[in-house]
Structure 1
Amino acid sequence: MDVFEITQVTDEIEEAFHRLIPQLSSSNPPPTRAELEDIVSSRASILLGARDPDKNNKLVGSLTLAVFRVPTGVRAWIEDVVVDNESRGKGIGEALTRAAIERAKQEGAVTVDLTSRPSREAANRLYVRVGFVARHTNIYRFNIGR
């Protein structure tokens, strides 16, 4: 498989996100083309994609790496990891995650964090296998609304 940084939004990229995001979240709509362009052009986010050679190099996975500076150093956060249902079990999620970790290192990050729902058992096993360690912390969310 080919893992790469998405630096330009094409029709193919837009179509892929309309297919992938509903597999990740039923409560959030797929991003619009303009929203994808915002992600790609932002200095704080790196959008990675993965192509499956068994599917004619179709874009079958993505991950967003947020990189930001805080007073204690550069941090990175992995968000919205998704692999197409038809391509799961081929190591695509692992390849995306490892590529994100490597890119975070290149950006000078001292940590990479992520969250994963307990019900996503395969994803949680993947993150532990890659080297993530569960942290005993509280996660809080304040919903501002849309």
Structure 2
Amino acid sequence: MSETSRPHEHTIDTGPDASAVEIAVVDAVDDALVAAFARLIPQLSSSSPAPDAAQLDDLVANDDTALFVARLDGVVVGTLTLAFYRIPTGVKSWIEDVVVHEDARGHGIGRMLNESALAEAQRRGAKDVSLTSRPSREDANRLYQRIGFQRRDTNVYRYTF
């Protein structure tokens, strides 16, 4: 398996030397991507295991999702999943599972992932993009508001099987 993707170049200043961050939609899965998810998912959720290669293959093959990765100096340091769904009132999209490695936070990578996802959602004709974020994720919540997400007056419910 080899990983191919559609890149979008961004540059961030990480100190004295500027490092290039590449944001890409993953088209195929390889061992390095599986290993990256094994590093990242525990930083997002203590109750969900990292996906294996077959699960990532299914996700990447699904036309209703776009799996974004952020690479810093060629290493995957962040990910975001953008899901699409059609309802009678139009195409909507949802951002899920956003995580930037703790060692790479604070350099704009989360913003780049989100802005790339918003551009893709608009390109695909989505009416809007929604997401949820735990109140304890204060930095993430500030980021979403700076990007332009508006807090909604709604209740979010979950039914767990």
TM-score (norm 1): 0.95
Shift of 1:120: 0.1
User: In the alignment, is residue 121 of structure 1 matched against residue 138 of structure 2?
Assistant: yes
- Partner of 2:117: helix, strand, or coil? helix
Residue equivalent to 2:42? 22
Shift of 1:79: 0.1
Residue equivalent to 1:90? 107
Distance 2:143 2:105 in 1: 12
User: In the alignment, is residue 108 of structure 1 matched against residue 120 of structure 2?
Assistant: no
Higher helix share: 1
- Structure 2 unaligned regions, length at least 5: 1-20
Shift of 1:52: 1.0
Give CA deviations for 1:29-54 in whole Å, capped at 9, x if unaligned. Answer: 0011111011000011100000113x
- Partner of 1:110: helix, strand, or coil? coil
- Partner of 1:37: helix, strand, or coil? helix
Count of paired positions: 141
Residue equivalent to 1:37? 57
Letter in 1 for 2:39: R
Residue equivalent to 1:138? 155
Letter in 1 for 2:155: N
- Structure 1 unaligned regions, length at least 5: none
User: In the alignment, is residue 99 of structure 1 matched against residue 119 of structure 2?
Assistant: no
The percent identity for this pair of structures is 51
RMSD between aligned residues: 0.5
- Partner of 2:66: helix, strand, or coil? strand
Higher strand share: 2
Where do 4+ consecutive residues of structure 1 move more than 3 Å?
none
Give the number of the structure with larger relative contact order, counting CA–CA contacts within 8 Å between residues 6 or more apart. 1
- Partner of 2:128: helix, strand, or coil? strand
Shift of 1:89: 0.3
